[in-house]
Structure 1
Amino acid sequence: MSSNTKPQQSEYVTDYLAGQDNTQFKIGPFHIDIHLSVFSFTAFLVVFLVSFCLIFQETASSLFGTLRPWLTTQFDWVFAISMNIFVVFCLFLIVSPYGKIKLGGPDATPTYSRVSWIAMLFAAGMGIGLVFYGVLEPMQHTLFPPLGDSATVNSDGSLVAGFDRDSAIQTGMAATLFHWGIHPWAAYAVVSLGLGIFCYNKGMPMTIRSAFYPILGERVWGFPGHCIDTFAALATLAGLATSLGYGATQAAAGLNYIFGLEADNTLMVIIILVVTGIAMFSVYRGLDGGVKRLSEINMLLALALFLFIVFVGATTDILSTFLFGLKGYVTDLPVLSNWVGRDDTDYFHGWTTLYWAWWIAWSPFVGMFIARVSVGRSIREFVLCMLLIPTLVSTAWMAAFGGNALSQMIGGYMDVQQTLLNWTPELSLFVMLKELPFATLSSAMGIILVLVFFITSSDSGSLVVDTICSGGIQETPTMQRLFWCMFEGLIAIALLLGGGLGSLQALAIATGFPFAILCVLMCYSILRGLQDEKRLLS
C-alpha cells in the first residue's frame, strides 16, 4: 500500500506480528510464504474432498444429494435472519456518523477509478449467475409465483385464462430481484468493511480473522483464528466451485446448441480445464495486469450483449418489465424477507435459502477482493455503491433478458418456456437468443461472456484463498496462487462428476452455514472498530 494509507495505532492492536511470524515460514529457493496451520488444514480437506468425489462418485452423489435438502429445510431461518441483519446493519452505517470514515484512513485516496472499481466488484460478485439465470428465473417466478399466489400457467404450458401480464411480471420480477438485490451485496459489504477497517485502518493482516480481534483479542492469532480462516478458505472454494460448475454447464449447453457438440461430462471437464489454464495465466499476471483487465473486458462484453437485447428485442416490454420489477421489489421486499410461516417452500427452500448460502459462501472471496480495491472510499460511498448500483444493474439485466423471454413466450414462442418446464436452465439464454437477429453471433458472445466471467471468478478467487492461507500476505509467490487456482478447477470437476450441480450447491450450503454465523458476529466487530476509529479521529 502507498504511504497515504499508513494505518493508525488502535487500542485493539497489540503484538499481532509476533503471532503471525510464528506460523510463517519459507522453504529454500521456492520462497513459500504460508500460514502453516491454515494452509495445511485447508489443503488436506481440499485434497480429501477431490479424492473422495473422484473415487466414490456414487457415494458422493448420494451424500450431497441428501445434505442439500436437509440444510435448506432445517436451517433456513439461520440464513434468512443473517441476511436481514446484514441489510439492516448496512442501512444503519449509511445514515450514521460512521459513514464519513474512510477505508485506509483520512488521507487515503482511491487506487482505482470509480468505473474500474465498479467493474471489478461487479464481475467478482455475481457474474456467472446473472448469465445463467437471467432468462429463466424471471420466467420461473412469473409463471409460478411465491407467497401463495396461483400459478399463471396450465399443465400443458398454456397461460391461464385472464392472465394479468403486468401483475404477474411485477410479482415475478420482485421474487427474482429479492435474490439479486441488496441482500447479497449487504453480505459482501459486511465482510469487505470488516477487512477494510481492520486491515487498512488498523494495520492488521489481510485475513478474515483480523475482523474478529475486538471479540477474541490475542486469541485471534491462535486456534480460534485458524478455524475462522479455514472456514473462510473452504467457503470461498465451495462458492467458486459452484459458480464454475454453472459456467461449465452453460458453456457446454451453448456449444451443443450452436455447434452440435455433445454436452456431456467430458466436454464440461475440458471447458473447466481450459478456462482454469487461462485463469492461471491471469493469476500469473497479477491483480492489475490480469484481474483488472479481464474485469473491464467482461463489463464491455456484458454491456454489448445487454444493449443488443434491449434494442433488437422487445424494447417496450423490457422497459415496462424494468419499471414493474423495481416497483414490485420495493413493495414485496418486507414480505419476501419474512421467514416465519412460509408455505411457499419450493421458492423459499429451493431458491432463497440456496441463494443465501451461495452468497454467504462467496462473501469471504468477494469481501476480501473488494476490500483490496476499495481503499480511499468513505464507508457511506462504499455501502451506497455496493447496495444500489448492483441492484439497479441486476434489475436492468433481468428485465432485458427475462423480460424479452417473457415477451416471446406471451407472443407464442413456446420453446423458451420449455427450458423452464423441462428444467434446462443452461439452455434458456440460447433459446431466447435464437429468435433474435444474428442469433449465432449473439450466442457465441454469450458463451464468451460466461467463460470470461468464469476466468475472472477463478483468478480473483485464487488470489483471495492464497491470501487467507498465507496469513494475510498480499504479495505471495506465484506458485502458491497457481496452486489454489488449479485446485478450484479440480474441486469443480470432482463435484460435477460426483453428483453434478446438486453436489456443488450442497457444498456451498454446508460451508455457508457456519460462515453466516461468523458474519453476524463480524457486524459487532465492525461497530467496535468504527467506534475506536471515530475516537482516534476526534
Structure 2
Amino acid sequence: MVSSGDPASTSDMHTDYTVGQDNIEGRLGPIGFDIHNRVFAVSALASVVFIILTLLFPERAGAIFQAIVGFATGTLDWYFMLVVDFFILFCIALVLLPYGSVRLGGPDARPDYGYLSWFAMLFSAGIGIGLLFFGVLEPVYHANVSLPLGIPSPFGADGELDPAAIPEATALGLAGTYLHWGIHGWAVYVVMALALAIFTYNKGLPFSIRSAFFPILGERVWGWWGHVIDILAVFSTLFGLATSLGLGAQQANAGMNFVFGLEVSATAQVIIILLVTAVALVSVWRGLEGGVKKLSEINMIMAVLFFFFVLLAGPTLVALSGFWTGLATYVTEFVPLSAPFGREDDAYRQDWTIFYWAWWVSWAPFVGMFIARVSRGRTVREFVICVLLIPSLFIFIWMGVFGSVALDQLYAAPEISLVKEYVIDSYRPELSLFGMLNELPLTALMSTVGIVLALIFFVTSSDSGSLVIDTITAGGKIDAPRPQRMFWATVEGLIAIVLLLGGGLAALQAGVTATAIPFSIVMLLMCYSIVKALNGELRHRRPGKA
C-alpha cells in the first residue's frame, strides 16, 4: 500500500479511491437527482440563491460586478498574465523533458482516433460563439482603438486616415487578436486536459477534477477538500458558459435587428436565451450521440461554408496576406505581447487580455474534459504539441480572414464603412460581423446564416457544458440521470439572463473573473500533481521497478 500522495501505483491509487467512493457517488432521489452528492447539493443551492438575489437586487448586483471587473483587471492584471505565461513554459518543459514520452493510458495504449478525426474534435472543442462575435471586432478594434504595444492609430488626432500607418496597425491588430485566441489559451486547456487524462487513464481514478489532487491531498481528496475543488470547477464552467450565452444572445438579437428590424432590447435577448435553452434541453435529453454530436456536425459544416464564403466573396488575396502578416507579427512580438510589466498599452491588456485569460480558465473544466476524453493513447509530447498548435492555427486562419476583410473595407472607404461605425464610432460590438457582411454579396442571406450559426453555437455550448457540469456534480459519472442534466442546462440559461439584466457585458465579465481567480490557483496546483504523476510513470518504466 503506497502512502497518501504517492502516485506510484495504479492499483493502490484505485484502492484508495474506493475507500471514499460514497462521498462523491450520488444516490438517486425521488426526482431522479443524485441528491446525496455534496457537490451537486451545494452547487445547485448556491446557483439558485445567486439567481434569486441578482433578480431581486439588480442595481446592487451590477455595482458588485463592476467592482469585481475593476479589481481583476486593474489590480490582478499582472497575476493573470504571469499565470498563463507559466502554463506556456510548463507545456514547453513537458515537451522537452523525458515526461513527453509517457503515453496516456499506459505503454500499450493506442489512440482511439486517427489524426484527422482527433484534429477535427480538438478544433470543435475550442470553437464557439467567440469566433463570430470577436472575429471582426477584435482585429478592427485593436488596430484602431486599443492599440497593442502602443502602436499609433491610422486615424490621427485630427481623425484623418494616415495610409502610412495602416500596414503596422493591421499587422499588430491581427497579432493582438491571435494572442487572445492562440497558444496562451490552449496552454490553459492542456494543463486541465492532461491532468484529467493522466489520473483517469494511467492511475485508474474517476473522471473528475478532484482526482488530479490525489498526490497533494491523498484520501482527503474524496472528502470536503475534493468537494470544494469540484464546486469551484462547476461555478467556473457555469459562468464561463453564461458569458458565451450572453454574448450569443446579444449578437443574435443585433443580427435580427440588422436583417429583420427586430428591436434590440434586454427583453428580446432574454426571450432568445429562453428559446435556445429550450432547444438545448431537447438536445441534452437526447444525449451525446443523439443531440450534441448531431448539432456539432451541422455547426461545423455551416461554419466551414460560412468561412469560405467570406474568403472567396471578399478580397481573397488581401485576406490571405493579412493572415500571414498577422501570424508573422504574432511570432516576432510574442514575448512583448505576453509581458505583464513595462508596457504602454494598459487599455489593451486590462480591458481585453485579462478578460480573455479569465475566460479561458473558466472554460478549462469544460473543454479540458472533452479533450481528455478523445486523447487516450497519445504521448504527452504529441498531446501537448498538437493541442497547442493545431486548434490555434485553425482559429488564426478564421480570425485572420475575417479581420483582414473587415480592415480592408474600413481603410478603403472609412466615411461609409459600417465596420467603422459599429466598432470605432458608436461601439456596437455585436453588430461588427454584420457590418462586414454588409459590404459582401448576398448580405441578407449570409447575415441570416450568421444568426443561425450564432444560435447553434449557443445551443451546442449549452448542452455540452451541461453534460460536463453533470459529470462533475455526479462524482465523475458520465451517465447521470437525464433530469439532472436538464437542471444544469436550465441553470446556465438563467445565470446568463440574470447577468445580462444585472449589468450586461460588465456583469458577464465579472462572472468569469470572479470564478477564474480561485480556479487559477487550483490549476497551478494541478501542474505539481501532473509532474508527480509523470515521475511515477517514468519510475515504472525503469528496470527492476514494478
TM tier relative to shorter chain: over 0.9
Aligned to 1:416, which of 411, 416, 419? 419
- Please state how far the C-alpha of 1:113 moved relative to its aligned partner: 4.5
Is 2:447 the counterpart of 1:446?
no
Q: Distance in 2 between matches of 1:157 and 1:386?
A: 43
Contact in 1 for aligned 2:23/2:223 (Cα 8 Å): no
Secondary structure in 1 aligned to 2:479? coil
Q: Distance in 2 between matches of 1:261 and 1:471?
A: 44
Q: Mark the CA change 1:476 to 1:157 in structure 2 (over 3 Å): closer, same or farther.
A: farther
Is 2:453 the counterpart of 1:461?
no
Q: Distance in 1 between matches of 2:151 and 2:343?
A: 12
Is 2:93 the counterpart of 1:92?
yes
Contact in 2 for aligned 1:8/1:203 (Cα 8 Å): no
Aligned to 1:515, which of 506, 512, 519? 519
Is 2:471 the counterpart of 1:497?
no
Secondary structure in 1 aligned to 2:173? helix
Aligned equivalent of 2:309: 308
TM-score (norm 1): 0.95
1:97-118 deviation per Cα after TM superposition (whole angstroms, max 9, x unaligned): 3223232223334344544443
Please identify, of 73-82 and 242-251, the stretch whose mean Cα deviation from structure 2 is larger. Answer: 73-82
- Please state how far the C-alpha of 1:162 moved relative to its aligned partner: 4.6
Secondary structure in 1 aligned to 2:107? coil
- Please state how far the C-alpha of 1:157 moved relative to its aligned partner: 4.8
Secondary structure in 2 aligned to 1:377? coil
Q: Distance in 2 between matches of 1:488 and 1:509?
A: 17
Is 2:471 the counterpart of 1:470?
no
Q: Mark the CA change 1:30 to 1:378 in structure 2 (over 3 Å): closer, same or farther.
A: farther
Q: Distance in 1 between matches of 2:201 and 2:31?
A: 29
- Please state how far the C-alpha of 1:10 moved relative to its aligned partner: 5.3
Q: Distance in 1 between matches of 2:110 and 2:282?
A: 30
Aligned equivalent of 1:264: 265
- Please state how far the C-alpha of 1:142 moved relative to its aligned partner: 1.1
Secondary structure in 2 aligned to 1:447? helix
Given residue 75 of structure 2, which amino acid in structure 1 is its aligned partner? Q
Given residue 326 of structure 2, which amino acid in structure 1 is its aligned partner? G
Q: Distance in 1 between matches of 2:292 and 2:219?
A: 34
Q: Distance in 2 between matches of 1:500 and 1:97?
A: 47
Given residue 416 of structure 1, which amino acid in structure 2 is its aligned partner? V
1:79-113 deviation per Cα after TM superposition (whole angstroms, max 9, x unaligned): 11110111111122223332232322233343445
Contact in 2 for aligned 1:116/1:296 (Cα 8 Å): no
Given residue 304 of structure 1, which amino acid in structure 2 is its aligned partner? L
Aligned equivalent of 1:208: 209
Q: Mark the CA change 1:13 to 1:78 in structure 2 (over 3 Å): closer, same or farther.
A: farther
Gaps of 5+ in 2: 1-7
Q: Mark the CA change 1:125 to 1:524 in structure 2 (over 3 Å): closer, same or farther.
A: same
Contact in 2 for aligned 1:112/1:373 (Cα 8 Å): yes
Aligned equivalent of 1:346: 347
Aligned equivalent of 1:480: 484
Aligned equivalent of 2:531: 527
Aligned to 1:146, which of 148, 154, 172? 148
Aligned equivalent of 1:61: 62
Given residue 217 of structure 1, which amino acid in structure 2 is its aligned partner? G
Gaps of 5+ in 1: 1-6
Given residue 146 of structure 1, which amino acid in structure 2 is its aligned partner? P
Aligned-pair identity (%) = 52
Q: Distance in 2 between matches of 1:404 and 1:430?
A: 12
Is 2:81 the counterpart of 1:77?
no
Please identify, of 102-111 and 51-60, the stretch whose mean Cα deviation from structure 2 is larger. Answer: 102-111
Q: Mark the CA change 1:60 to 1:328 in structure 2 (over 3 Å): closer, same or farther.
A: same
Please identify, of 31-40 and 359-368, the stretch whose mean Cα deviation from structure 2 is larger. Answer: 31-40
Given residue 421 of structure 2, which amino acid in structure 1 is its aligned partner? Q
Please identify, of 178-187 and 366-375, the stretch whose mean Cα deviation from structure 2 is larger. Answer: 366-375
Q: Mark the CA change 1:23 to 1:523 in structure 2 (over 3 Å): closer, same or farther.
A: closer
- Please state how far the C-alpha of 1:328 moved relative to its aligned partner: 0.6
Q: Distance in 2 between matches of 1:44 and 1:25?
A: 16
Given residue 440 of structure 2, which amino acid in structure 1 is its aligned partner? L
Secondary structure in 2 aligned to 1:26? coil
Q: Please show how residues 244-283 of structure 1 align to structure 2 within 5 Å.
A: 244-283=245-284
Q: Distance in 1 between matches of 2:11 and 2:318?
A: 55
Aligned equivalent of 2:397: 396
Q: Distance in 2 between matches of 1:164 and 1:344?
A: 18
Contact in 2 for aligned 1:50/1:490 (Cα 8 Å): yes
Is 2:436 the counterpart of 1:435?
no
- Please state how far the C-alpha of 1:12 moved relative to its aligned partner: 4.5
Q: Distance in 2 between matches of 1:77 and 1:187?
A: 17
Q: Please show how residues 371-390 of structure 1 align to structure 2 within 5 Å.
A: 371-390=372-391
Q: Distance in 2 between matches of 1:240 and 1:285?
A: 20
Report the aligned-residue RMSD: 1.8
Q: Distance in 2 between matches of 1:377 and 1:290?
A: 28
Q: Distance in 2 between matches of 1:370 and 1:210?
A: 16
Contact in 1 for aligned 2:139/2:174 (Cα 8 Å): yes
Q: Distance in 1 between matches of 2:526 and 2:483?
A: 31
Q: Distance in 2 between matches of 1:27 and 1:244?
A: 30
Secondary structure in 2 aligned to 1:24? coil
- Please state how far the C-alpha of 1:375 moved relative to its aligned partner: 2.0
Given residue 259 of structure 2, which amino acid in structure 1 is its aligned partner? I
Q: Mark the CA change 1:20 to 1:488 in structure 2 (over 3 Å): closer, same or farther.
A: same
- Please state how far the C-alpha of 1:138 moved relative to its aligned partner: 0.4
Tell me the matched-pair count.
Answer: 531
Aligned equivalent of 2:5: none
Given residue 266 of structure 1, which amino acid in structure 2 is its aligned partner? T
Contact in 1 for aligned 2:111/2:378 (Cα 8 Å): yes
Given residue 535 of structure 2, which amino acid in structure 1 is its aligned partner? Q
Q: Distance in 1 between matches of 2:13 and 2:170?
A: 51
Secondary structure in 2 aligned to 1:152? coil
Q: Mark the CA change 1:34 to 1:196 in structure 2 (over 3 Å): closer, same or farther.
A: farther
Q: Mark the CA change 1:490 to 1:14 in structure 2 (over 3 Å): closer, same or farther.
A: same
Secondary structure in 2 aligned to 1:360? helix
Q: Distance in 1 between matches of 2:12 and 2:74?
A: 43
Contact in 2 for aligned 1:123/1:298 (Cα 8 Å): no
Q: Distance in 2 between matches of 1:226 and 1:524?
A: 20
